Amino acid sequence: MLFVDALKPEQVWLVKKDERGHSTVTRAADVEEIQKMTEQGIPLGSLWYSNHLDDGAPE
């Protein structure tokens, strides 16, 4: 978690695999909800720990 706190949203990529095994990749900075929370001062590690990064990844 501390490692993720040291990164900016532009440096974090969210990878999600669908039921067919296809992967989608999204930059954390491109997810509006994540961007808003980091602008409010919430560290990325906290977002990761509370599963907000999982929620932000596209299906």
Q: Tens digits of per-residue pLDDT, 47-56?
A: 988 888 876 5
The amino acid sitting at 2 is L
Question: Three-state DSSP class for 31?
Answer: coil
Which residues neighbour 2 within 8 Å (Cβ) at sequence distance 6 or greater? Answer: 45
The confidence score (pLDDT) of residue 7 equals 92
Domain residue spans of the chain: 2-56
Beta bridge pairs of residue 27:
13
Whole-prediction pTM: 0.76
The pLDDT score that the predictor gives to residue 30 is: 95
